[in-house]
Amino acid sequence: MSSSITQLAQTLRERRTSAVELTRQAIARAKKLAGLNALITLDEAGALAAAERADAALATNPASVLAGIPFAHKDIFCTNGLRTTCASRMLETFVPPYDATVVAKLGDAQAVSIGKANMDEFAMGSSNENSFHGAVKNPWDTTRVPGGSSGGSAAAVAAGIVPFATGTDTGGSIRQPAAFCGVTGLKPTYGRVSRFGMIAFASSLDTASVLARSAEDCAQVLAAMAGHDARDATSANRLVDDYVGALAKPLAGLRIGVAREYFGAGIDAGVGAVVQAALGEYEKLGATLVDVSLANAALAIPAYYVIAPAEASSNLARFDGVRYGHRCADPKSLEDLYTRTRAEGFGAEVKRRILVGTYALSAGYYDAYYLRAQRVRRLIANDFNEAFKTVDVIAGPTTPSVAFKLGEKSSDPLAMYAADVNTVAVNLAGLPAISLPAGFSANLPVGLQLIAPAFAEARLLSAAHQFQLATDWHARKPEGAA
């Protein structure tokens, strides 16, 4: 399904197609491409019922631009009556009794969810190989990873199953798979989109948003998702900008900071060349390139991999076999219930992060690790604040390489973590960022990352949109994609 949201919405309003027809196409496509393993749960009956309601609304009301548009939810958002597994054995049969705010908002807009997208277990991973339901494959090369943790969402969009999908970004989990799969992925400011009903990984970092083909499509979806939610204490109580209206803003006068640290050692030469060429295109369109420095960028990975596991160890303590989720058979004691349930229910990467996080928070090590990491987090945020005194956005490669082979880094967690080197600092600082397709290296997509000050999503989206009006990288599709 390669048409944009705006194009699909127009065909629906002109009665050239129906929501039911679009939904049937998406379901058929999902079944045909089941080998990608992009979806965990296909909700055929629920989707067709929602499509019928959308058609009824389209016949009588000036409905939302998303009305009748099929999409997929990352399987981290609670969906009332439909299982939410978080790609784990722990929640393999969990059926929530309520909708996450993101689910409710897109439901109110009458978008049609066809099911739940695969992901790394509890959103912990950079390759989507950590899922209890099996690895997702990259539509551009099925021997390669789609990126994580929102790899199922990215693969579903890239393969043309749906025009957009929800995702979450804790350290790059929207932007990295967007780069690997050649789609557009937006990470908003922390607090811009409600986290209510989104199963927590690291509560001070988790951010919900969207993957789609273009910045224009991302703007349409963010407009529906964003806003204050009293049920989320970290939700920002401020007005939602006109993201769609801001897309037309020209690039003339835009100051783009080129962070030298994002082009240092470890960046693949082909990736660097593609991104430099994209920045040259921005200059042709009227933007000005300015050298900037993010002096503490090298500290982002170690700080993140102390803070995120620490918060995960706290959040995942709720999965104990008592209230919901997996429960071991015939526990001999309360301690046996806890230990065997968690040993059976969690995968290797989740266990690794729980152990690291618990150690970092333990007596005698809190000051040495967690407190120090939080101080580094402040330094990283200060670097961004200083840079934004002279530039409007900051640019660099989203990832240091193109998508790597399935299994290539599975035995080396540190190499896997390094895939997030250009993305985690954004989450530590709570800033918005977007990854957009910028070209190809070794016949695989390369992503350009743009970062903006807090709550400047409109600026990001317009900068990305103007680039996409002048190029067609975002319109390129893998062989066999709809």
Q: What is the DSSP string of 160-189?
A: TS-SEEEEEESSSTTHHHHHHHT-EEEE--
Token pair recorded at residue 365: 């090590």
CB neighbours of 415 closer than 8 A, spacing ≥ 6? 409
pLDDT at 457 over 90: yes
Q: What is the pLDDT of residue 3?
A: 84
The closest alpha carbon to 97, from 197, 200, 203, belongs to: 197
The closest alpha carbon to 169, from 145, 185, 192, 152, belongs to: 185
Token pair recorded at residue 31: 């079944």
pLDDT at 63 over 80: no
CB neighbours of 46 closer than 8 A, spacing ≥ 6? 81, 82, 113
Question: Rounded to the nearest 10 degrees, what angle do helices 215-225 and 457-470 cross at?
Answer: 150
Higher pLDDT, residue 324 or 209: 209
Q: Is residue 124 a contact partner of residue 353, using CB atoms and an 8 Å limit?
A: yes
* pLDDT range class, residue 65, cuts 50, 70, 90: very high
Candidate from 133-137, 339-343, 415-419, 434-438 with smallest mean pLDDT: 415-419
How many Cβ atoms are within 10 Å of 431's Cβ, its own excluded? 25
Could you report the per-residue pLDDT of 210-228, keeping only the tens digit for each? Answer: 999 999 999 999 999 999 9
pLDDT at 346 over 90: yes
How many Cβ atoms are within 10 Å of 52's Cβ, its own excluded? 16
| Dist. CA 85–CA 95, nearest whole Å | 8
Q: What is the pLDDT of residue 256?
A: 98
Q: What is the pLDDT of residue 266?
A: 87
CB-side neighbour CA atoms (13 Å) of 40: 32
List phi, psi (to 5°) of 306.
-105, -50
Average pLDDT of the residues in 111-115: 98
Average pLDDT of the residues in 196-203: 98
The closest alpha carbon to 265, from 423, 439, 418, 403, belongs to: 418
CATH classification number, 5-249+399-409+433-475, choose in 3.20.20.80, 3.30.70.1520, 3.90.1300.10, 3.30.360.10: 3.90.1300.10
Q: Is residue 86 a contact partner of residue 76, using CB atoms and an 8 Å limit?
A: yes
Q: What is the pLDDT of residue 456?
A: 98
| Dist. CA 28–CA 44, nearest whole Å | 10
Share of the chain above pLDDT 70, in %: 99
Could you report the per-residue pLDDT of 379-438, keeping only the tens digit for each? Answer: 999 999 999 999 999 999 999 999 999 999 988 988 899 889 999 999 999 999 999 999
- CA-to-CA dists, residue 277 to 271, 280, 443, angstroms: 10, 5, 16
Q: Given the DSSP bridges, would you call strands 207-212 and 288-292 parallel, antiparallel or unpaired?
A: unpaired
Q: Is residue 63 a contact partner of residue 110, using CB atoms and an 8 Å limit?
A: yes
Average pLDDT of the residues in 69-95: 98
Q: Where are the alpha helices (DSSP H) in 195-247?
A: 215-225
Q: What is the pLDDT of residue 161?
A: 98
**With b meaning 16 or more CB within 10 Å and e meaning fewer, what string describes 187-223?**
bbbbbbbbbbbbbbbbebbbbbbbbbbbbbbbbbbbb
**What are the catalytic residues?**
74, 149, 173
Q: Given the DSSP bridges, would you call strands 112-117 and 70-74 parallel, antiparallel or unpaired?
A: parallel
Could you report the per-residue pLDDT of 350-368, keeping only the tens digit for each? Answer: 999 999 999 999 988 898 9
Q: Can you say how many angstroms the Cα of residue 467 is from the centroid of all Cα atoms in its chain?
A: 21
* pLDDT range class, residue 131, cuts 50, 70, 90: very high
Average pLDDT of the residues in 158-182: 98
The closest alpha carbon to 166, from 39, 48, 54, 53, belongs to: 39
Candidate from 66-70, 209-213, 252-256, 362-366 with smallest mean pLDDT: 362-366
Bridge partners, residue 39, by sequence? 117
Mean pLDDT of the chain: 96
Walk across the sheet containing 393-397 and list its strands. Answer: 39-42, 112-117, 70-74, 164-169, 207-212, 184-187, 433-441, 444-451, 393-397, 255-259, 288-292
pLDDT at 1 over 70: no
- CA-to-CA dists, residue 267 to 47, 172, 421, 465, 472, angstroms: 42, 16, 10, 26, 24
Q: What is the pLDDT of residue 414?
A: 87
CB neighbours of 254 closer than 8 A, spacing ≥ 6? 282, 286, 287, 288, 392, 393, 463
Q: What is the 3-state secondary structure (H, E, C) of 54-82?
A: HHHHHHHCCCCCCCCCEEEEECCECECCE
Could you report the per-residue pLDDT of 404-418, keeping only the tens digit for each? Answer: 999 999 889 888 998
Q: What is the pLDDT of residue 265?
A: 78
pLDDT at 61 over 90: no
* pLDDT range class, residue 2, cuts 50, 70, 90: low
DSSP 239: P
pLDDT at 304 over 80: yes
Query: Is the link from the previous residue into 153 a cis peptide, with omega within 30 of 0?
Result: no
The closest alpha carbon to 150, from 130, 138, 135, 166, belongs to: 166
Share of the chain above pLDDT 90, in %: 93
